[in-house]
Amino acid sequence: MRHKPLIALTLLTGLTGCGLTSSQAVYEGIRAQEKANAVGTNAPPNQGLPRYDQYEKERSTRPEIR
């Protein structure tokens, strides 16, 4: 019974950490994974995803699809 507050605090702390993941971090993680997978293949350099800043710029100028 005395462990319930400690467990609740631990879960709450873990959930707040989930909010620290930004869309930029997710995008850069996917970009890094693609670069790692391309090592050793015949893929030309710089053919992967663009940097996040360029991606956001293109995304903001593109009309919204509904």
> What are the tens digits of pLDDT across the range 17-58?
666 677 888 888 888 888 888 887 776 666 778 888 888 898
Q: Which domain holds residue 58?
A: 21-66
Which residue type does 23 have? S
Residue 38 lies in a domain: yes
What local confidence, expressed as pLDDT, does residue 10 receive? 80
Residue 47 lies in a domain: yes
Residue 36 lies in a domain: yes
Q: What's the average model confidence in pLDDT over 7-18?
A: 73
What local confidence, expressed as pLDDT, does residue 59 receive? 84
Give the largest Cα separation in the chain, rounded. 60
Residue 40 lies in a domain: yes
pTM of the predicted model over 0.85: no
- 38 Cβ neighbours under 8 A, 6+ residues apart: 47, 48
Q: Under a CB-based contact definition with an 8 Å cutoff, are residues 46 and 31 in contact?
A: no
Q: How many independent structural domains does the chain possess?
A: 1
